Amino acid sequence: MHPPRVPHAALDTKRKMAARPFSGLWKASDPTLFQMTLVAGLLASVLGDCGPPPDLQFASPNNKLNNKDFKTGTTLKYTCLPGYSRIGSSSVTCNDRGSWDYRVFCKSGAHMMGLGPI
């Protein structure tokens, strides 16, 4: 299937894709425009990029973070704050749903000695 012929359109050499000027390309009621807009909107939520990592009360990131957005699969390492001990993997990972996965990986020293949470 080839794209329709449109004046002032550029077609790639394999005839699989067309580039058209945006102005005057479609009417607002054109179903193709609606489909493209819908796909673009859905892709943003499906791709799963995460915002800033969680602010944890028991740990801080190993590196200064300047980014506001992180790609799916990004893993950040954390260090337990003073008074806390590491009990598991000290990392958080951006998942494909756009949120950060992690388990509590630092416990307070008093809690580790059986004195309960502080």
Q: Band the pLDDT of 9: cuts 50, 70, 90.
A: low
Q: Band the pLDDT of 32: cuts 50, 70, 90.
A: low
Domain assignment present for 5: no
Whether pLDDT at 51 is above 50: yes
Q: Band the pLDDT of 39: cuts 50, 70, 90.
A: low
Domain assignment present for 102: yes
Domain assignment present for 66: yes
Domain assignment present for 12: no
CB 82 within 8 A of CB 58: no
Domain assignment present for 103: yes
Helix, strand, coil shares of the chain as percentages rounded to 5?
Answer: 15, 25, 60
Question: Total domain count for the chain?
Answer: 1
pTM, whole model, 2 decimals? 0.53
**What is the reported pLDDT for 91?**
95
Q: Using CB atoms within 10 Å of the CB of residue 86, give its burial: 0 to 12 exposed, 13 to 18 middle, 19+ buried.
A: middle
We report the CATH number of the domain holding residue 72 as 2.10.70.10
Domain assignment present for 96: yes
Please indicate whether residue 91 or residue 34 has the higher confidence score (pLDDT): 91
Domain coverage including residue 83: 59-112
Tell me if residue 57 falls in helix, strand or coil: coil
Number of neighbours of residue 106 by Cβ within 10 angstroms: 21
How many residues can be counted in the chain?
118
Over residues 49-59, mean pLDDT: 93
Over residues 2-30, mean pLDDT: 54
Domain assignment present for 84: yes
**What is the reported pLDDT for 64?**
87
Domain assignment present for 21: no
